[in-house]
Amino acid sequence: MPPEKSYSKTSVEERLLASIDMIDVSQACALLRIETDDPEAIMHAMARGDTIITLTRNGRAMLPLFQFDTVNGRIFDVVGTILKLRPARFSNLRLAYWLTRAHVDFGGPPTDRFGKDDAAILAAFRRYIEPVHHG
């Protein structure tokens, strides 16, 4: 008998997405003070340029709020650097997971240290993505 279709992947993904404060593309443009008639195109272009992290929730492009410096209306610089370092095998979802989970170096998630401890975040991320060598 073939195995039943597993829904655990979807539920894990949904739980992760539900645990992250997110905004839609229009809210992101407003936060960044970008005036446009096509906020989705702007955010997709920024995502293609490794400037911003986007996730899909219920078929809509959503952006994790942690990557925005809401006081100054910008994206934290460390986000772009992490996106450029990220291996191709890492999805945005996996990246968001790593960024939002407690890390021993920070006593909490790396996102809590954005703009304050960027060098340490980058060092921790480089260690995380380093390939495992046995032998």
In Å, how far are 10, 62, 69, 96 from 58, measured between CA atoms?
11, 9, 25, 17
Phi, psi (deg, nearest 5) at residue 72: -100, 0
Q: Tell me the whole-structure pTM to 2 decimals.
A: 0.85
Helices (H) and strands (E) in the chain, counts: 6, 5
Query: Would residue 86 be called left, alpha or beta, if left means φ above 0 and alpha means ψ between -120 and 50 degrees?
Result: beta
Q: What is the pLDDT of residues 14-44, one digit of tens each?
A: 888 999 999 999 999 999 999 999 999 999 9
Judging by beta carbons within 10 Å of its beta carbon (0-12, 13-18, 19+), is residue 49 exposed, middle or buried? exposed
Q: In the chain, where are the structural domains located?
A: 8-129
Place of tokens 């006081």: 71
| Helical (H) or strand (E) element with 120 | helix 118-129
pLDDT tens digits, residue range 74-120?
A: 999 999 999 999 999 999 999 999 999 999 999 999 999 999 999 99
pLDDT, tens digit, 9 for 90 and up, residues 117-130: 999 999 999 999 99
- pLDDT classification of 49: cutoffs 50, 70, 90: very high
Please state, as a whole number, how many other Cβ atoms lie within 10 Å of the Cβ of residue 106: 16
- Residue length of the chain: 135
